[in-house]
Amino acid sequence: MKAKAYAAGTVLNALPTGIGSAFGIEMKTVVKLRPSEDVRVVINGVERKNIVAQRILHSTGVRAEIFVESEIPGGSGLGSSSAFVNALICAIKKMKGEKLDAFEILRSNARFSLEAGISYTGAFDDASASLLGKFVVSDNRKMRLIRIDDFEGYSAVLLPEFRRSRVDWKKLRNNASEVKEGIDAALKGDYCEAIRLNTEYICKMLGYPVEIAKKGWKKGFCCGLSGNGPSYVAFGSKNEMEELEEIWSNYGRVYVRKLANKPAEDVVISDAIFEGFDG
């Protein structure tokens, strides 16, 4: 049994306030399950110890070998963990013949991510973009979506040569008032302004070079830092992303992929997933 999920590019980092925004990118993680008493995880051909996978299998009563093929680099700020957990939960549900309820999958993803210590907030924004595609804004504390928007186009993804900075989440939260305008922009669906304001703040707090994003801003492109870095992402037309690819190629490896504008799996999306639901 197998299932897939997308990479997630960041519009608004949820660490400072709990409000996050992200979008799906057609870089995929595919999980295949093979029933077995020998529980192990093989990622891109290499066997690895994976705490969150063990927790998920144990909680669902499934024993299986997990084979993962992923295009999403780990620790890059592109939601690799969210994509893996989404795909694994979906594969398990398929194996057990259960309905793929998006809200249940995303809540489980956030819970497992928090318990395993692979996320500070549960990454409900990344998980939602990874499973549902599109552009989303979420309240990660309530595990609810505030809005979801279609966006046809492409994304450019820069994997720079420098490494991820240390994340001081207390510092990010202590200065959270500085991202209020970014939150307001995301809530209005102005994702281009939101990603710019978020990038200025997160780069300043974590020490990443904002100049990489400014190269795109000068051309009028929508781009910025993804997650806690070190990757940078952009969205727009194919021509814009190919032009940005040339600019960003001086900093590292660049991929141009379609934006994911439909769910990665045939999930059921109920009203319960949205903030304000009274059920």
pLDDT digits (tens, 9 = 90+) for 29-85: 999 999 998 889 999 999 998 888 989 999 999 999 999 999 999 999 999 999 999
Q: Can you give the pTM of this predicted structure?
A: 0.95
Using the CB atoms, write b or e for 116-129: b if 16+ within 10 Å.
bebbbbbbbbbbbb
70: which 2 tokens?
Answer: 């992923």
pLDDT at 206 over 80: yes
Distance CA 138, CA 147 (A): 7
Distance CA 125, CA 181 (A): 18
Which tens digits make up the pLDDT trace of 228-244?
Answer: 999 999 999 999 999 99
CA 233 to chain centre: 12
pLDDT at 170 over 90: no
Question: Would you kindly state where each structural domain of the chain is located, as residue ranges?
Answer: 2-150, 154-258
pLDDT computed for residue 279 by the predictor: 37
In this prediction, residues 114-133 reach a mean pLDDT of: 88
The overall average pLDDT reported for the chain is 94
Low-confidence winner among 52-66, 80-94, 110-124 (lowest mean pLDDT): 110-124
Give Cα separations from 120 to 58, 95, 210 (angstroms): 23, 30, 23
CATH superfamily of domain region 154-258: GHMP kinase, C-terminal domain (3.30.70.890)
Which class does domain 2-150 fall in?
Answer: alpha beta
